[in-house]
Structure 1
Amino acid sequence: MPEKAFSVCIKDSVFIDPPYNTGSDGFVYNDNFNFTIEELATKLSIDEEDAKRILDLTKRGSASHSAWLMFMYPRLLLAKDLLTNDGVIFISIDDNECHNLKLLCDDVFLEENFVAELTWEKKKKGSYLANDITNIKESIVVYSRNKLSFNGLIGEINTNEETYPCINASNGRDVRHIPAGIMSKYREKNFTMKAGEIISDTTMNLVLKSDLVIKDGILVQNLDIEGNWRYGQDAMAEYAKKGELYITQDLYLRRIVNEPRYKGLKDLLLRLGENEESGYSYSFDANNLQASGWGSNEDADEEQRILFGEQGLMTYPKPVLLMMKLLTSVRDERMTICDFFSGSGTTAEAVMRLNANRNKHRFIMIQLPEDLDKSYVSASGDEKKRIKKLVNYLDSNNRVHKLDQLGIERIIRAAKMIKEENPDTTADLGFKHYTLEEPNRTTLDKLEKFVPEDQGMVLTNDILTDFGTQTVLTTWLVRDGYGFNADVKAIDFEGYIGYYIDKHLYLIDANITDAAIAAIVDKYEMDGNFNAENVVIFGYSFIWTKTEELKTNLARLKDTEKNLRINFDIRY
């Protein structure tokens, strides 16, 4: 099974490694068909003008290109919606679709939000085929949600003390006022030079507009001096005040710099770094990402062998180090990282390893639960052997034959390994597994009877039976913006459990009693900290009479001291 391309969403950051466009029959996502403008507009719920623009991004008649773009377009739109204003998305891609991907991203994220096209050296050596170039690289296309808010990708942070010249020969000439009191490193401790004299070397000169007077290595009177200055007057005055300005041994002016200096990430991510260090490691200098290598497919194979005890479970895997360094380049210690095509869970392991030190990132890994048995039947050759190997591995670990199960196994094993390597870490290395499901019956299918004189309709409760209260609650918490780790409080209302957080009270289970309704009203009236303005009711669990009873009793609160107006939201 090939490790899929990735995307990350930063601040929230999106990291996607989308499936590359092979046009092969074994691709679990259909990429081998063409669309008309009308068909594409219908499938993506967009107008025909937008559909035409998508299809125009590729050559006319190229079915595989068009289908791949159709596959990517809605996912990129979703990724954009997930990104915070200062967020960023990384997309790994090969040569087949790199040009089309950039055009697509220009359309979705806008051309002005393009950050970089990084080139990653993925192999030590490629396959040697007579008529082909040896391919050892992949591209990582990077876009921000809003480049004006994005702080860029930082490859190096210099914290050592350095000195910078205060003049720049290419700048215009002007006069700067230098206050007395700055230090002098001129060879003579006591020295005077008269106004009008010139301090010069072969490329630039300074003209004294007042006397330069140095006593005991200190400038003892204010100095006006003309030159091609790098810094404005306000900056020079501030540097002098902070003791960062001094006269050099050649009578020029320099600035002492102690605060961190940031250099942008280089767009070439080499397997071996500047120090000729390979990428097979989980440690690196965060202040100089280019010093060591960025990892390779070979390194990732070895990571699999160590973690799983097997090699070749996924082909062309991404190394953990690559992900760790890319995330580090964003220079934010608290992000939510989303991977749309998480494969074996490389991104999750990278996030946990960063968190084991000092970061506080969260990850959301999304993976289609690909049926490996079905994939095995349609595969052939080496791919068939790899899928069989993966199926056998899942069997040996008592897991079903779904691709997402490998990612779950990796997260568990990686968390254990990280804890053993970092026994003092306080990082949360746990995770929750969610499955996206849709009920297999419509609301009308659940209608048992409708008798108006018997106060309405009664619905069966199969959704709770099939999925459970916690599934419904989690779905609503995410929908209402509280996220997967919301600190929701379970409250006992005379034997009936409701769930409260912030401005929401969720009532999900069936068989609410009159005593429970009375207890809910009492909670509003007696507890000054309880102010749920929204009561969310699971419609399948409530008959009409109980819903009306609850509404009637809570309506009284608008006439009380709290003056609350309760919004009722009945959901199915």
Structure 2
Amino acid sequence: MPAEPAILTPGPAWNTFVAGDNLDVLPRLAPGSVDVVYTDPPYNTGNDFVYADRFRDGSQADPYAGRHAAWTAMMRPRLQAVREVLAPHGAVFVSIDDNEAAHLRLLMDEVFGEANFLAQVVVNLNPKGRQLGRGFATSHEYVLAYARHLPDCAIDGSTTESVDEADFPRSTADGRRFRYLPLRNTNKKFNPLTAPTLHFALYGDPVTGRVATSEFPGSQALTPVFGDGRPAVWRWSRPRVDERPDDLECRVIRGRGGERVDVFQRDWLHREGGRRKKLRTIWLAEEIGSTDTAVAELKALVGHVFESPKPTGLVRRILSLLPDDVVVLDPFAGSGTTGHAVALANAADGGTRRCVSINSAEPTRQGSNARLAGLETVADITRARLAAVADQVGGGLDVVAG
């Protein structure tokens, strides 16, 4: 009997590359050994795709139904294999366009569970819009994100890069920037019935700005109310108010009913550990790069040898949601964008992320730029890019037999 293939584990190099069918390679990774997956699988544009393998089913009479079914049949076992190697705290991000976005969403609900859905991000990769074909000038694709198990997921949907200093217009005498936020909880789901411990009186003096949980000279009792006068609750508990009184201020403001006194939080721009803000679900090309910038990145390393690569900024944004020592997997590595992004992120922040990139030995097209450059397969493109990244950015490259 043939020997079982050795367990594949990324070494100290930032990048590990394996040439082979991901369905054969993924079982060689230890279950639960990967923290995050980003991948850009072959899009179903009506042409055959390299992974049209033993799962293909072209029996449907409807050619569109058969094409979608074949693509889904190709993806299902690969997503199931990805799920097996994800750690309980892990997450998967998959790029897709309109051809299969709806089918992929249903498939990922099936494989990962609808309850583990994180986001469907709109990615503005072509700001000018595609001018060929009928209909609208499409300027976006999607990234579908799912947790392995949502309660354990390590993804922090916030990042420092989305914080806008203009949102903090006020400053103290020593130059610290801040903004005022109502201490009252403005969400009407939270009220004295649903959060009774947060409905209590605070004492404030609008002349000095002082706020406390107990009465003091010059203070007046203040209870939280909504704009229509109904009782509300505070966002902070009594102990937290006692811990951070200097972050609160009593002020006179003008509301719908005229002037009133209320309590506000001074929300500082720079806090211990760094301020973070939730990412929106539309990612603009000016923030993460575009297909044009992705082509330029690849061209600077190995030439214009791959159509429509993804920009490294897209993957680096995903990496910014996680600790800097994660193990990353890309089972459809394409031109090697993910491994490149991992190396750039490590070089920028001193992280120790490691990436496993898998790509098939699909032949490059006869007469293509890649073939003219001596790159016989798409795996050759991935390997060449990651080798150039190791030379220019650092971190090394391990090439493992598929």
Q: Structure 1-normalised TM-score?
A: 0.52
Opposite residue 294 of structure 1, the aligned amino acid is I
Instruction: Tell me if the contact between 2:121 and 2:142 (Cα under 8 Å) persists in the aligned partners.
Output: yes
1:34 corresponds to which of 45, 57, 65? 57
Query: How is 1:236-247 mapped onto 2 (pairs within 5 angstroms)?
Result: 236-247=238-249
1:295 corresponds to which of 266, 269, 289? 289
Shift of 1:69: 0.8
Cα RMSD after superposing both structures: 3.5
Q: Once the two structures are superposed, what CA deviation does each residue of 1:171-206 show, in whole Å capped at 9, x if it has no partner?
A: 54643355xxxxx774369x9xxxxxxxxxxxxxxx
2:200 corresponds to which of 169, 175, 181? 175
2:285 corresponds to which of 235, 255, 271? 271
Opposite residue 299 of structure 1, the aligned amino acid is T
Counterpart secondary structure, 2:107? helix
Instruction: Tell me if the contact between 1:371 and 1:401 (Cα under 8 Å) persists in the aligned partners.
Output: yes
Counterpart secondary structure, 2:224? strand
Opposite residue 187 of structure 1, the aligned amino acid is V
TM-aligned CA distance change 1:245 to 1:185, over 3 Å: farther
C-alpha separation between the residues in 2 aligned to 1:124 and 1:61?
A: 29
2:91 corresponds to which of 78, 88, 91? 88
Query: What is the match of residue 376 of structure 2?
Result: 401
C-alpha separation between the residues in 2 aligned to 1:210 and 1:242?
A: 14
Shift of 1:144: 0.8
Shift of 1:364: 0.2
Query: What is the match of residue 123 of structure 1?
Result: 126
Instruction: Tell me if the contact between 2:202 and 2:214 (Cα under 8 Å) persists in the aligned partners.
Output: no
C-alpha separation between the residues in 2 aligned to 1:188 and 1:298?
A: 56
Opposite residue 434 of structure 1, the aligned amino acid is V
Query: How is 1:405-420 mapped onto 2 (pairs within 5 angstroms)?
Result: 405-419=380-394
C-alpha separation between the residues in 2 aligned to 1:12 and 1:168?
A: 35
Shift of 1:10: 9.6
Query: What is the match of residue 322 of structure 1?
Result: 314
Counterpart secondary structure, 1:227? coil
C-alpha separation between the residues in 2 aligned to 1:172 and 1:267?
A: 29
TM-aligned CA distance change 1:125 to 1:226, over 3 Å: closer
1:77 aligns with 2:80: yes
Counterpart secondary structure, 2:131? coil
Counterpart secondary structure, 1:13? strand
TM-aligned CA distance change 1:241 to 1:21, over 3 Å: closer
Opposite residue 226 of structure 1, the aligned amino acid is T
2:158 corresponds to which of 149, 154, 159? 154
Opposite residue 393 of structure 1, the aligned amino acid is A
- Structure 2 unaligned regions, length at least 5: 1-21, 23-31, 166-176, 193-198, 226-231, 253-260
1:385 aligns with 2:367: yes
Instruction: Tell me if the contact between 1:244 and 1:255 (Cα under 8 Å) persists in the aligned partners.
Output: no
Query: What is the match of residue 113 of structure 2?
Result: 110
C-alpha separation between the residues in 1 aligned to 2:140 and 2:351?
A: 30
Instruction: Tell me if the contact between 1:177 and 1:224 (Cα under 8 Å) persists in the aligned partners.
Output: yes
Counterpart secondary structure, 1:142? strand
- Structure 1 unaligned regions, length at least 5: 1-5, 37-54, 179-183, 192-208, 273-292, 377-383, 395-399, 420-428, 437-572
TM-aligned CA distance change 1:164 to 1:414, over 3 Å: same
Query: What is the match of residue 396 of structure 2?
Result: 430
Query: What is the match of residue 187 of structure 1?
Result: 207
C-alpha separation between the residues in 1 aligned to 2:131 and 2:206?
A: 63
1:306 corresponds to which of 294, 297, 300? 300
C-alpha separation between the residues in 2 aligned to 1:303 and 1:337?
A: 20
C-alpha separation between the residues in 2 aligned to 1:117 and 1:232?
A: 30
C-alpha separation between the residues in 2 aligned to 1:108 and 1:236?
A: 45
Counterpart secondary structure, 2:384? helix
1:140 aligns with 2:128: no
TM-aligned CA distance change 1:86 to 1:59, over 3 Å: farther
Instruction: Tell me if the contact between 1:121 and 1:269 (Cα under 8 Å) persists in the aligned partners.
Output: yes
Query: What is the match of residue 21 of structure 1?
Result: 44
Opposite residue 12 of structure 1, the aligned amino acid is D
C-alpha separation between the residues in 2 aligned to 1:152 and 1:407?
A: 29
Counterpart secondary structure, 2:264? strand
C-alpha separation between the residues in 2 aligned to 1:354 and 1:231?
A: 40
Query: What is the match of residue 370 of structure 1?
Result: 362
Query: What is the match of residue 166 of structure 1?
Result: 183
C-alpha separation between the residues in 2 aligned to 1:298 and 1:59?
A: 36
TM-aligned CA distance change 1:33 to 1:109, over 3 Å: closer
Query: How is 1:432-451 mapped onto 2 (pairs within 5 angstroms)?
Result: 432-436=398-402
Instruction: Tell me if the contact between 1:185 and 1:246 (Cα under 8 Å) persists in the aligned partners.
Output: no
TM-aligned CA distance change 1:130 to 1:89, over 3 Å: closer
C-alpha separation between the residues in 1 aligned to 2:51 and 2:222?
A: 69
Shift of 1:360: 1.5
Shift of 1:247: 4.0
Percent identity, please: 25
C-alpha separation between the residues in 1 aligned to 2:241 and 2:115?
A: 35
Instruction: Tell me if the contact between 2:191 and 2:233 (Cα under 8 Å) persists in the aligned partners.
Output: no
Query: What is the match of residue 353 of structure 1?
Result: 344
Instruction: Tell me if the contact between 2:249 and 2:266 (Cα under 8 Å) persists in the aligned partners.
Output: no
Counterpart secondary structure, 2:359? coil
Shift of 1:305: 2.2
C-alpha separation between the residues in 2 aligned to 1:130 and 1:92?
A: 22
TM-aligned CA distance change 1:21 to 1:188, over 3 Å: closer
1:341 corresponds to which of 311, 332, 353? 332
Shift of 1:23: 3.4
Instruction: Tell me if the contact between 1:154 and 1:331 (Cα under 8 Å) persists in the aligned partners.
Output: no
Opposite residue 154 of structure 1, the aligned amino acid is S
Between the two proteins, the alignment pairs up a number of residues equal to: 330
C-alpha separation between the residues in 2 aligned to 1:80 and 1:433?
A: 24
Counterpart secondary structure, 2:103? helix
C-alpha separation between the residues in 2 aligned to 1:77 and 1:211?
A: 61
* 120-129 or 408-417, which deviates more: 120-129
C-alpha separation between the residues in 2 aligned to 1:254 and 1:97?
A: 48
Which has the larger Rg? 1
Query: What is the match of residue 12 of structure 1?
Result: 35
Instruction: Tell me if the contact between 1:10 and 1:86 (Cα under 8 Å) persists in the aligned partners.
Output: no
TM-aligned CA distance change 1:236 to 1:300, over 3 Å: same
Query: How is 1:495-510 mapped onto 2 (pairs within 5 angstroms)?
Result: none
C-alpha separation between the residues in 1 aligned to 2:214 and 2:335?
A: 71
Shift of 1:139: 1.1
